[in-house]
Structure 1
Amino acid sequence: MIHSFLMIGQSNMAGRGYAKEVPAIYDEHIKMQRNGLWQIMSEPINFDRSNAGVGLAASFAASWRLDHQQDEIGLIPCADGGTSLDDWAVGGALFENAISQAKLAQRTSRITGILWHQGENDCSPEKAERYSEKFSVITETLRQELNIPEVPLIIGGLGDFLSSGIFGKYFTSYPLVNRALEEFAKAHANCYFVTAKGLTANADNIHFNALSQRILGVRYYSAFREAEHLLVPRHNEERILKTIYDRPYTRTEKIKLLEHEFAMGNIEPKDFLSELTVLSQE
């Protein structure tokens, strides 16, 4: 049985990190949902826009695998960049799509958690004041629709860099949203807040860069595993990432990666067959 996790929120959940800046994560036991079916995860997982990139879900899943080496994890990508809580309102397209995708996943998996990151589009005092009220309706209805009343909901804070970028004037109230997210998590059972302290951004100062997304995924998993809020960074985040990156590929993974390179035109047919023969004999 695949243990699946629903990914919802806006662009920092979808991921905008540059893949060239971090080592790839590839594991035949980490799946992502495409067209209602499971395939081996590759990034971008949540292809909501043409600039989709590295997000937190890959390192979350890889961290999960360190503790569940005989099991499979599945990611259900439903995040959408530039969206507000109002865009995620019950009955709206984004909410209904998430329900639909999650129900498809439930046919072949058990939803084990919900990953949420959103708030940049609600950075005003007025919206922050109503954040908890609106978010509560969304999450409670989501749980009811999917019959998952007790699965953990992990929510992350906004980056401290938001107000210092070229669009900083639109994000001056981000601390109010962070406070609303943390207070929501502390007031609701099976909900855990993860800090973004110390994380850095792309040049736009809106989106976490690739390394910070990797670290954020490790933090999300720590909160999930320990069932507690993560309010300060952990000292072992880089070590966990190194362990993930140093994992050797299985023969199946090597073959799949070779097939990908051939399909992309990066390797000649004779070289492909030669390397495939070697791998098949391992």
Structure 2
Amino acid sequence: MPGELKPKNIFLLAGQSNMTESGGVYNDTKTNLLNWDGKIPPQCTPTPNILTLSINKTWEIPHDPLHKEIHNLKTCGVGLGMPFSKQILAKYPNYGVIGLVPCAIEGTKIEMWQKGTNLYNQLVDRARAARQSSGGNIRALLWYQGKSDCGEQDSRLYTRRLEKFFKNVRHDLDSPDLPILMVIVSTGPRKSLRFRRYAQLNINLKNVMRIESVGSTFLADHLLLDTNSAVGIGQKVANNFLYSFYHWK
């Protein structure tokens, strides 16, 4: 990391596949393995005004895929984090250095994010380390999850688990009103998708912003965002954050 640059504004990235960066990922028919095309759109190019917390909890200039280390070196591509950050800086150049904290893991159900689980503990631990090492403030949790729960039809159970997760994160980070920017799922088996969307849209907590993903374009599996939509959703999340929480302290 250059000089003594530290992030003033910290954002947590959590959830599953579409947060771990799926843009540009494809199935190589010759090897039957997932690969990334390596194409970085302009909205994701590195800048010293955006940093990321490494697996060793040091601040570095980010390069997509942001989740490569935290995701056990599995194949990742372009995601929401960089276009989200660059959109904020494009609109407010004096916003200050942004610090991204990747914590998402593909294929994870909401029960795997409950307090006491490895994923939950890792999220809270990395968030605390980010705040302590930078002296900055955690501005929001970006959350994109739900695809792995689409087989479950109990919307009330999912809602309860999601609300409990949000409440616990806020409590353990001593931030009871922490803004949460939640992307609503928009693809999956029709009936189960309806249950999951209903559950997410009916979260009844203060400062939870719902960002719609309907209209996005996906990879061949019809589940993972392509590069254009990953960029678009990232920018959309940023616009919602700026509109609702720019002056939040």
TM class by shorter chain equals 0.7 to 0.9
Q: Aligned partners of 1:175, 1:25: CA distance in 2, in Å? A: 36
Q: Aligned partners of 2:221, 2:78: CA distance in 1, in Å? A: 15
1:118-197 equivalent positions in 2, closer than 5 A: 118-160=145-187, 162-163=188-189, 172-184=191-203, 187-197=204-214
Aligned to 1:268: none
By how many angstroms is 1:28 displaced?
A: 1.1
Q: Aligned partners of 1:154, 1:128: CA distance in 2, in Å? A: 20
Which is greater in Rg? 1
1:133-282 equivalent positions in 2, closer than 5 A: 133-160=160-187, 162-163=188-189, 172-184=191-203, 187-227=204-244
Structure 1 stretches of 4+ moved >6 Å = none
By how many angstroms is 1:152 displaced?
A: 1.0
By how many angstroms is 1:172 displaced?
A: 4.2
AA matched with 1:45: L
Q: Select the structure with the greater relative contact order (CA < 8 A; seq sep ≥ 6).
A: 2
Aligned to 1:269: none
Does residue 51 in structure 1 map to residue 75 in structure 2? yes
Paired residues of 1:115 and 1:155 also in contact (CA < 8 A): yes
By how many angstroms is 1:136 displaced?
A: 1.1
Paired residues of 2:153 and 2:192 also in contact (CA < 8 A): no
Q: Aligned partners of 1:125, 1:80: CA distance in 2, in Å? A: 19
SS in 2 for 1:103: helix
Percent identity, please: 25
Paired residues of 2:40 and 2:78 also in contact (CA < 8 A): no
Where in structure 2 are there 5+ consecutive unaligned residues?
Answer: 1-6, 25-37
By how many angstroms is 1:208 displaced?
A: 0.5
Q: Aligned partners of 2:154, 2:67: CA distance in 1, in Å? A: 26
Aligned length: 218
Q: Aligned partners of 2:140, 2:222: CA distance in 1, in Å? A: 29
Aligned to 2:128: 103
Does residue 117 in structure 1 map to residue 144 in structure 2? yes
Coordinate RMSD, CA, aligned: 1.7
Q: Aligned partners of 2:91, 2:40: CA distance in 1, in Å? A: 26
SS in 2 for 1:173: helix
By how many angstroms is 1:87 displaced?
A: 0.8
Using the size of structure 1 for normalisation, the TM-score is: 0.73
Task: Give the structure with the larger helix fraction.
Answer: 1
AA matched with 1:26: P
Q: Aligned partners of 1:26, 1:159: CA distance in 2, in Å? A: 29
Structure 1 residues 97-130: Cα deviation after superposition (integer angstroms, max 9, x where no partner): 0011001001112101100000011113534331
- Shift of the 58–39 alpha-carbon distance from structure 1 to 2, 3 Å rule, reads same
Q: Aligned partners of 2:65, 2:155: CA distance in 1, in Å? A: 30
Residue number among 85, 98, 102 corresponding to 1:73 in the alignment: 98
Does residue 31 in structure 1 map to residue 48 in structure 2? no
Where in structure 1 are there 5+ consecutive unaligned residues?
Answer: 164-170, 229-282
Aligned to 1:85: 110
Q: Aligned partners of 1:31, 1:211: CA distance in 2, in Å? A: 22
SS in 1 for 2:202: helix
